[in-house]
Structures are given as structure tokens and as C-alpha cells.
Amino acid sequence: MAVARKIPKIMEEPTAFCAGCGHGILNRLIAEVLEEKGQEKNHILILGVGCNCNMNFTWGGDKLQCAHGRATSVARGAKTGRPDTLIISYQGDGDAYVIGLSDTINTAYVNTNVTTFAVNNTNYAMTGGQMSWTTIPGQHTTTSASGRDCESTGNPIKVPEIIAQNFDVAYVARGSLHSAKEINKTKKYVRNAIEAQLNGEGFSLVEVLAQCPTNWKVSTVDANEWLKDKVVPIYPLGEFKKREGRDDK
Ligand SMILES: Cc1ncc(C[n+]2csc(CCOP(=O)(O)OP(=O)(O)O)c2C)c(N)n1
Ligand code: SF4
Ligand SMILES: [Mg+2]
């Protein structure tokens, strides 16, 4: 018998994302974990600029919209002022890894006790699908019309690996949303990241590979295959930094 899970209260408004967008799935995972942990009224979502701006109208919890790229820095300020509140930055790849790369690295470097969810959909989606540093080799975007040429633009950036290998942070993982199995794994990563902050363990980062059918110019169904077959091979999935003393992954 199929069991339908109740929609978390934080998500009672329908999302404003395109059909088949990965953002909506991640919203749901975060909302479910916040509810499981009793944090529906004790969190602030720090929104970067990108398609996640849609959450200003739909996310039922506390939130704060900040300038493009500055979300982890704003999160650090919020945590300083509200140490007992769960502080989560929710950003796109362009926001967290390009314009905001220095903020993200600095937050990892000082190991602030905040959590970042970075949605990697391999493009600047909100502004019409321009090339990002995460765009995969050969990918057609509005600013790489012939396909991304990595010889002249560099290779896809892997920020979780950079952070896990270089900084003393609490938790780093990368999940994907292309199948039910991977969505369940990603939820585990989301839970681990939030638990790490609740336990005061330090910075936690989860990158989430997400569908953007609109800018990839594929159907909502084909977007799952596109993600699995083209994006996942470039960005390995898993936990790059496990929480200390825990092997429950
Ligand atoms: C300082 C500044 N520069 C550029 C922009 C334009 N801009 C808005 S969103 C965005 C990129 C969004 O891409 P991403 O962070 O990957 O989020 P997505 O929409 O893909 O989820 C850009 C370049 C801006 N709003 N502010
Ligand atoms: S443009 Fe892409 S990332 Fe933005 S809401 Fe639509 S599918 Fe989602
Ligand atoms: Mg993006």
C-alpha cells in the first residue's frame, strides 16, 4: 500500500518553481528534516539570489533575502546574533561557487557553525541559463552557445572536494535528485548537515545536483536522465567529510 507523507507545514504554499525543477524537491527535504527535528520555528533560511528567490513567497519559515553571493557571510552574522537559532544558507551554484566563492571559502576556513545547501543545476538559471563555473564540458548555455570549451573557460569547479580536503569543517556531502533512491540519500545528507549544526560541530555543506529542465531545454522526464547520465559522472556523489565519531551513514 502506498503511503503518502503529509506535506510539512512550512511548505503549505505551492512552490513557484518550473515543473520538474530540483529546487522544489530540495525544499521538501529540508522542510521534512526541520519538522522532524522540531525546528520549524527556530530557523532562518538565508536566501542567495537565483531561482531560490521564489521561496520568498512560499517558504513558511523565517527567511532573509540577501545580496547575490553574500549568503554565507550573512549567515555568519545571523549566527553571531542568534547562536541558538538554526542558520541555513540556501544558494545556487552561481551564488555559492562563483560570485560568492570567497564568502563560502571564508566560512569554511573559520568553520562557522552554519549550514549551506548549494543547488548545482550547472547554470545561472534565474537570469536565463548562462554558463556557470559548474557548467559541464560541452554543455550548451546562452553564453556557451557552441558548448562549454574548458580549454578557454576552465573545468567544472568542485567546491565540496576543495573544502573537505583543505578545511577543518564538520560535514561535506554531495547528493543528487535524479531518482527516489538518490533523493533518500540526499535527505540523509540534509539531516546530517542540520544535526551537525544543532550539535555545534561546525560548518556543514551539502551540494545538491538538481534538474533545471527549463534551461537545459529538455522535458521534465528527460531532465532526470540528463542529470544521471551527464551531470553525475562529472560530480561524484557521497560524503567527503563525515561527522566525527559517527559512522551511521
Ligand atoms: C551583484 C549581482 N550580480 C549579478 C546578478 C544577476 N544574477 C542574479 S541570479 C544570478 C545567477 C543565479 O544562478 P545560481 O546561483 O546558480 O542560481 P539558480 O538560479 O541557478 O538556482 C545572477 C548572475 C545579481 N543579481 N547581482
Ligand atoms: S529556471 Fe530552472 S532552476 Fe529556475 S525554477 Fe525553472 S527549472 Fe528551476
Ligand atoms: Mg544554478
Residue 229 pLDDT exceeds 90 = yes
Q: Which atom of ligand 1 is nearest to the CA of 51?
A: 19
Residue 4 within a domain = no
Q: Which domain holds residue 26?
A: 9-241
Residue 56 within a domain = yes
Percent of the chain with pLDDT over 90: 94
Residue 246 within a domain = no
Residue 51 within a domain = yes
Residue 157 within a domain = yes
Query: Mean pLDDT across the chain, nearest whole number?
Result: 96
Per DSSP, the residues of 157-219 read P-HHHHHHHHS--SEEEEEE-SSHHHHHHHHHHHHHHHHHHHTT---EEEEEE---HHHHT--
The number of folded domains in the chain is 1
Residue 31 within a domain = yes
User: Residue 49 belongs to a domain with what CATH number?
Assistant: 3.40.50.970
| Pocket of ligand 2 contains residue 25 by CB under 6 Å | no
Q: What is the average per-residue pLDDT within 243-248?
A: 74
Using the mean position of ligand 1's atoms as its centre, give its distance from the Cα of residue 124 in Å: 6
The pLDDT score that the predictor gives to residue 5 is 73
Residue 162 within a domain = yes
Ranking 7-16, 109-118, 132-141, 163-172 by mean pLDDT, the lowest is: 7-16
| C-alpha pair distances (Å), 103 with each of 100, 106, 196, 240, 243 | 5, 5, 20, 20, 23
Q: How confident is the model at residue 1 (pLDDT cuts 50, 70, 90)?
A: low
Task: Return the residue whose CA atom lies nearest to atom 6 of ligand 2.
Answer: 18
Q: Which atom of ligand 2 is nearest to the CA of 210?
A: 3
Dihedral sign of CA atoms 176, 92, 168, 111 in order? negative
Beta strand 86-92 with 171-176: parallel, antiparallel or unpaired?
A: unpaired
Residue 2 within a domain = no
Using the mean position of ligand 2's atoms as its centre, give its distance from the Cα of residue 20 in Å: 8
Using the mean position of ligand 1's atoms as its centre, give its distance from the Cα of residue 67 in Å: 10
Nearest bound ligand to CA 122?
Answer: 3
| Pocket of ligand 2 contains residue 55 by CB under 6 Å | no
